[in-house]
């Protein structure tokens, strides 16, 4: 069965320093992977997605992620954090073989990103 593990529940960085949010996945097939961001009391917004094309994926707001099949990882990075990046981030996997083509997604537990001035 497919699953996703976010390795840090909380990450704290200073403004202007790099951001790294770690995500490992487990999938019996070739997965599609997503990163979503959620600001307090808001819905989720798609940051970027990997769907078996280029392994380095660029998203909105300067974020990017690299799909590494050998490491079963899909870590999210940003070169320089901004105060507005403070939010909850979710790594998500969609496994066609497991979901039966229903569009169901499996969510990680989330990582809270704190950005200090």
Partner 1 sequence: DGGITQSPKYLFRKEGQNVTLSCEQNLNHDAMYWYRQDPGQGLRLIYYSQIVNDFQKGDIAEGYSVSREKKESFPLTVTSAQKNPTAFYLCASSKPVGVATYEQYFGPGTRLTVT
Told to check if 72 binds partner 1 by CB under 8 A, we report: no
Q: Tell me, what DSSP letter sits at residue 43?
A: -
Structure tokens at 75: 């870590």
Which one of the spans 13-21, 64-72, 73-81, 101-109 is the region binding partner 1 (CB under 8 A)?
101-109
d(CA 16, CA 29): 38
Beta-ladder partners of 35: 48, 91
**Other Cβ atoms within 10 Å of 37 Cβ, number:** 21
Residue 28 binding partner 1, by CB under 8 A: no
The smaller minimum CB distance to partner 1, of residues 108 and 115, is found at 108
* Interacting residues with partner 1 (CB under 8 A): 9, 32, 34, 36, 41-46, 49, 51-52, 90, 94, 96, 99, 101-105, 107-110
């Amino acid at each position: 069965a497919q699953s996703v593990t976010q390795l840090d529940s909380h990450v704290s960085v200073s403004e202007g320093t790099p951001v790294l949010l770690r995500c490992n996945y487990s999938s019996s097939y070739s997965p599609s992977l997503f990163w979503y961001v959620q600001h307090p009391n808001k819905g989720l917004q798609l940051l970027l997605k990997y769907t078996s094309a280029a392994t380095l994926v660029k998203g909105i707001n300067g974020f990017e992620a690299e799909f590494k099949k050998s490491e079963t990882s899909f870590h999210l990075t940003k070169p320089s954090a901004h105060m507005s990046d403070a939010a909850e981030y979710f790594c998500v996997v969609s496994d066609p073989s497991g979901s039966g083509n229903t569009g169901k997604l499996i969510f990680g537990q989330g990582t809270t990103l704190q950005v200090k001035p």
